[in-house]
């Protein structure tokens, strides 16, 4: 997405993998019907060791300087292929600065922290799509991403990256899920009565919500209200979902992120989102529109989110259209 979506994961990293305007792909021929991004001098010079599924040991010949994403194979798997647009690659990854060779943010290699990445340049930054496209489950790749195929300025600031340095990724593709079923364009459930004391929501003709915060203090506990009741599939625990959303800071009245302006909904796993957002989605049905008010303890906690301009005392509000489930 064109803005970072830091609420998705408390670490904020996977969220920001969907944070760059798509660029044209540069692919090299490979066997079969799939095309793999070419390796290059920069990616080939990176030394990666260690077992698949465990955090790698990485040595980078820095500074790197590439004009298009380079991808080199470290370990070749023999599982399902990441071939279809919209498929989900479930991955572990580590991220490094191409300028210094240092790790950008601590990586957690844990079965409970596998990140779902959608193979779609409308939803995920182009360089990441280039690294995982055509990989098989069990594969480890290393890649070098230039500025044009990497993070937005906002996300770079969040991670302490300079405006022009390359970003290096080591990615382990753990498993592959097929594309989700076609999603609704907007929530189409039956309108429900508004709840007193909570923000109000007005919808544009295309379904884009506008949130109005009441002139009262925010609630101290998680509040969830159904604005439209859908009748589709129920969102089970740790499900892949497709949503449109708007996120607003109750304290400032500022929208810190939203998907509607991009024209594309977002897909993610409810097991990888902040506590209050997970609780707002699971148990709901496709076609529903949900209003969720998250106190700090259900969102970013005392640390807040600098990238989203959310302090440790700010309550955040989401309006979410549940459009599909994987």
Question: CA 141, 147, 151, 156 torsion: positive or negative?
Answer: positive
Would you say residue 32 has pLDDT above 70? Answer: no
State the average pLDDT over residues 62-69: 96
Residue 24's pLDDT band (boundaries 50, 70, 90)? very low
SS3 276: helix
For residues 236-244, average pLDDT: 91
User: Quick one: 134 exposed, middle or buried, by C-beta within 10 A (0-12, 13-18, 19+)?
Assistant: buried
pLDDT at 233 over 90: yes
Cα(91)–Cα(220) distance, rounded to whole angstroms? 36
Per-residue pLDDT reduced to its tens digit, 182-192: 789 999 999 99
Torsion of CA 28, 166, 104, 271, to 10 degrees: -40
The whole-angstrom separation of Cα 235 and Cα 244 is: 15
Residue-wise pLDDT for 162-185, tens only, equals 888 999 999 999 999 887 777 899
Give the Cα separation of 15 and 34 in Å (integer). Answer: 27
Question: Taking Cα atoms as reference points, which of 153, 130, 126 lies closest to residue 141?
Answer: 130
Q: pLDDT tier at 305 (50, 70, 90 boundaries)?
A: confident
Mean pLDDT of 122-132: 88
Higher pLDDT, 60 or 303: 60
pLDDT digits (tens, 9 = 90+) for 182-227: 789 999 999 999 999 999 999 999 999 999 999 999 999 999 999 9
Domains of the chain: residue spans and CATH:
13-177 (3.10.50.40), 190-325 (3.10.50.40)
């Amino acid at each position: 997405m064109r803005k970072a979506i830091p609420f998705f994961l408390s670490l904020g990293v996977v969220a920001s993998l969907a944070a760059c305007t798509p660029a044209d792909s540069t692919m090299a021929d490979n066997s079969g019907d799939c095309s793999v991004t070419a390796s290059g001098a920069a990616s080939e010079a990176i030394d990666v060791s260690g077992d698949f599924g465990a955090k790698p040991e990485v040595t980078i010949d820095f500074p790197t300087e590439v004009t298009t994403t380079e991808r080199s194979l470290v370990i070749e798997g023999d599982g399902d292929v990441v071939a279809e647009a919209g498929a989900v690659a479930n991955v572990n990854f580590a991220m490094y600065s191409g300028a210094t060779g240092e790790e950008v943010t601590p990586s957690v290699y844990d079965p409970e922290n596998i990140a779902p990445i959608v193979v779609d340049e409308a939803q995920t930054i182009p360089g990441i799509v280039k690294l995982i496209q055509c990989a098989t489950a069990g594969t480890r790749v290393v890649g070098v991403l230039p500025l044009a195929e990497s993070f937005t300025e906002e996300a770079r600031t969040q991670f302490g990256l300079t405006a022009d340095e390359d970003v290096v990724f080591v990615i382990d593709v753990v498993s592959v899920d097929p594309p989700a079923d076609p999603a609704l364009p907007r929530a189409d459930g039956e309108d429900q009565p508004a709840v007193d004391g909570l923000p109000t929501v007005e919808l544009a003709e295309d379904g884009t919500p506008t949130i109005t915060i009441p002139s009262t203090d925010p609630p101290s506990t998680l509040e969830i209200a159904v604005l439209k009741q859908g009748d589709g599939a129920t969102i089970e625990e740790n499900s892949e979902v497709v949503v449109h959303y708007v996120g607003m800071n109750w304290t400032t009245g500022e929208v810190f992120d939203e998907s509607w302006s991009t024209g594309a909904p977002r897909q993610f796993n409810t097991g990888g989102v902040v506590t209050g957002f997970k609780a707002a989605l699971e148990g709901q049905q496709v076609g529903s529109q949900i209003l969720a008010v998250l106190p700090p303890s259900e969102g970013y906690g005392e640390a807040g989110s600098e990238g989203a301009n959310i302090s440790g005392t700010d309550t955040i509000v989401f309006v979410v259209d549940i459009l599909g489930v994987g």
